[in-house]
Amino acid sequence: MNEKEELIRQTKRAFDFIQKLYMEVSYMFKEVEGVLLEEEEKFVICRPQGYAVAARSSVGLEPAYIKFWMLRKMAVSFVPEENTSQKQGKTHTLMDDKLKTLYLRVILDDKEIEQPVVHSGIFYNFTKKSNSRWDRYEHLLTHIEYNEHRVFTNPEFIDYEDMHLKFKGRLIGNNLYDLNSSEELNNKVIKPMLELFRNTP
């Protein structure tokens, strides 16, 4: 096999692997979604722009932006059905200090981690600043990803504030490849997330 043929083969294998990894992550999100919908709070997945993950992405040609061509981090969030409404395929969840949400974030690659991780937990105690143009929680989801280094300085005890709003959060970390069954996903991700939600005032 010559060098060109090897490059063609490796390119195809690389994209096949990434596509399979993305599919597995999507299955995990959907499995969590299905379980949470059956809980007493009837959690629904937030839809900022429809049924999709929140992520930072780019198609810019500047070298600093090329690393965002491929999604390395993505998140979904869930709210109790009574706290949201759906219009035209999007959810509308008003933010206030009584709102609590579930947050599930996957980091496939980052210089600060040794292997892919899943962070799961809650956001709560939202306070919108008077000059903020945001009223829906869904506006916040992409903002969080674009400000990840400020929001997730300490994922276990988040206390974030900027010119738009402030909120608190608590996330629990697990290695993605340690979640090899529905039982492990339930015991390590879903149950601890629900416990935080129900026991945090």
Q: Determine contact, residues 121/169, Cβ cutoff 8 Å.
A: yes
| pTM across the whole model | 0.95
Tokens of 33: 């979604």
Q: What is the pLDDT along the chain (201 residues), one digit of tens a residue?
A: 789 999 999 999 999 999 999 999 999 999 999 999 999 999 999 999 899 999 999 999 999 999 999 999 999 999 999 999 999 999 999 999 999 999 999 999 999 999 999 999 999 999 998 888 888 999 899 999 999 999 999 999 999 999 989 999 999 999 999 999 999 999 999 999 999 999 998
How many domains, in total, are found in the chain? 1
Q: Determine contact, residues 74/105, Cβ cutoff 8 Å.
A: yes
* CB-facing half-sphere around the CA of 5: CA atoms within 13 A: 2
Domain of residue 136: give its range.
3-199
Strand pairing of 85-87 and 90-92? antiparallel
